[in-house]
Chain A
Amino acid sequence: MDSAHFDSLRLELRRGCLVLAVLAQLRSEHYGYTLRKELADRGMEIDEGTLYPLLRRLESQGLLTSEWREEDKRNKRFYRLSAEGKSVLKGLLIEWQQINASVDRIVGGKRSVA
């Protein structure tokens, strides 16, 4: 297996799930560091250079709200899902379950043929 190809495809596959994971995790309030840590603890590693621009993009799309607040003697930016974000997340979760089921059927079908 070509490892470069595999890595690039794996990255592409994971990238599609990141938005869903971030939105789902932000049902409760987090700042960047704790969000990243919680995602990593649940098996969804994401590097800082990807997470922070993604948060900003989701906020500019109206899916997140944010506020600067002091914690541990330092100003931190806290993110939370907006009302629109909640509705989008709901739709995305349904879509995700459908994709999952479809892929399961396809992969299962292939296995039975093999």
Chain B
Amino acid sequence: MNQIDAYLDAIRRLLPRETRDDVVAELRDALLTQIESEETERGHRLTDAETDSLLARFGAPRVVAARYGAQSYLIGPRMYPVFVFVAKAIAVLIGVIALIRIGVVSFGAEEPLAAAAGVIVRALVMMLILVAIAAIGLARLERLPLPPLPWETWVPRAHGAHGPALPGWGRRPVVPRSETLPSLAWLTFWLVWWTGALPLGDGILFRWLPIVPTQIVADLSPFVIAVLIAGIAGDAIALAQPRLARLHEAAQLVTSCGLLALTALALRAGTLVVATNTAAGAQKAASVTNIVLIVCLAGLALVSIAYVVEIVKGWIRATPGRAGSASARA
């Protein structure tokens, strides 16, 4: 394989399958024509060094391929703001959980520093894994033909100088029913499921898997019910009186703080289900279920933290002193 073939082959491998033959055929002609022209000009066949220099002028294969529109980035301009938001939220969530865990494991431990170091290492690994999962998910979304996202539209009078907040949160005069109705249905479903009116948990999870919930799940049950009822009450009030946005936010704040506290207690317990027998398969099912539940709880806590932060930020922005100083600046 000569230099030209090697160069074109390197470009070909980086191009989309459907266009690569056509593009490479055109580039081959362009290169050969250029070489012939230079050979005529110089009066001799190009040496290897001169051919290398010509190829270098043409551009590195990766650069040339990228110019043909091959999407050479993972997260582009549409999803980058979301990625930054999610990455920060993950950092805060893992940081908070790690601090709680450090407090729990260090207290009374024989070697508190070693225990704390272990928590920090696990927290960093978990943070990297979650950021990687978020990056992969957002990279996929970046490549989907999505309609304009809420934070990509901007109405000056409605959104102020900084545009809409990231997933459309912040101070609103009314709570839209399109938001309260699904939330109400969702929380009601979980309440009905948790109280046992719908035998879905036993029917789906514990019938087919050799696992049972641990005592901590029963101990936390009243708190779970209380949190769900607070959320349902907030949504029901907002559904009846959409203008009570501040009350709805207060209920969301209580629900989010409650979820955070529950997550912290569940993570402190560590084990949420145990195997019903000592068989390796049962042990594996229990450990996988525990991991899945903890990841789900971590996700729930992430959303809760985001809600708490957004609600508190909205309240701070809406305080009379802040509003006055903002208008004075304007």
Chain A positions within 8 Å of B, measured between CB atoms, are 31-33, 47-50, 52-53, 56-57, 68, 74-77
Contact = CB atoms under 8 A, between A and B. Distances in A.
A60 to B, nearest CB: 9
B68 A56 contact: yes
B71 interface: no
Contacts of A47: 57-59
A77 B59 CA distance: 21
Contacts, number: 47
Contacts of A49: 58-59, 63-64, 67
Interface in B2-24: 19, 23
B26 interface: yes
Contacts of B26: 32, 52, 77
B30 A48 contact: yes
B32 interface: yes
B219 interface: no
Interface of B: 19, 23, 25-27, 29-30, 32-34, 37, 57-59, 63-64, 67-69
Contacts of A53: 64, 67-69
B30 A33 contact: yes
Given A33-B34, A47-B59, A48-B58, A75 B29 contact: yes
A71 to B, nearest CB: 10
Nearest to B54: A48
Central interface residue in B19, B23, B26, by most chain A CB within 10 Å: B26
Contacts of B69: 53, 57
A75 B25 contact: yes
Contacts of B64: 49, 53
Given A49-B64, A52-B30, 12 more contacts: A31-B29, A33-B33, A48-B57, A48-B58, A49-B63, A49-B67, A53-B68, A56-B23, A57-B69, A68-B25, A77-B26, A77-B29
